[in-house]
């Protein structure tokens, strides 16, 4: 399973890597009080990158990455300050992430409306897994 997870988030294709960087920069700007988009260098920054990369892979129709997505979301949830863990706040973060990913995916365009609809459906399904895994983490 670790090998599968690594192949889903550790060895990003060029396109997914570039998209991951764009999504992370926009998400960071939206979430932070200070409007910088500099990546975190801590474990939390790494968990953000893994979460976004796995989410993008799943939206590209890679269901083999669903376990990696759940693991990345759980890790993201455990990286939150436990004293003030706020499930509603996490869901708000994921709503912002959805909007950013959706904008990036629609900007890239799709060959037809069916492909676009399928991507949006996969994004929403993946985010429901993300939300559940992130808020269900234990100390």
Instruction: Tell me the pLDDT of the chain (139 aa) as tens digits.
Output: 444 444 565 545 788 889 999 999 899 888 876 666 565 667 778 888 999 999 999 988 778 889 999 999 989 888 776 666 678 888 889 999 999 999 988 887 667 788 888 888 999 999 999 998 888 765 4
Number of residues in the chain:
139
Torsion from C-alpha of 50, 127, 38, 87, nearest 10 degrees: -110
User: Among residues 108, 129, 130, which one has the least CA distance to residue 119?
Assistant: 108
Tokens of 36: 């910088």
CA distance 78 to 62: 25
Q: Is the CATH number 1.10.490 carried by domain 2-135?
A: yes
Tell me the C-alpha distance between 87 and 135, whole Å. 6
Terminal-residue alpha carbon distance, the chain: 23
Residue 80: its pLDDT value, please?
A: 72
Q: What is the pLDDT of residue 1?
A: 42
Residue 68 is predicted with a pLDDT of: 92
């Amino acid at each position: 399973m670790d090998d599968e997870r690594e192949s889903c988030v550790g060895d990003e294709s060029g396109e997914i890597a570039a998209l991951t960087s764009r999504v992370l920069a926009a998400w960071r700007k939206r979430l932070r009080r200070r409007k910088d988009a500099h990546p975190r260098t801590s474990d939390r920054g790494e968990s953000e990158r893994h979460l976004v990369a796995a989410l993008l892979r799943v939206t590209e129709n890679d269901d083999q990455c669903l376990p990696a997505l759940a693991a990345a979301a759980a890790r993201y949830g455990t990286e939150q300050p436990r004293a003030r863990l706020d499930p509603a706040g996490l869901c708000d973060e994921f709503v912002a992430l959805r909007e950013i990913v959706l904008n990036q995916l629609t900007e890239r365009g799709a060959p037809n409306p069916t492909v676009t609809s399928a991507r949006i459906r996969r994004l929403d399904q993946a985010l429901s897994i993300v939300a559940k895994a992130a808020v269900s983490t234990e100390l």
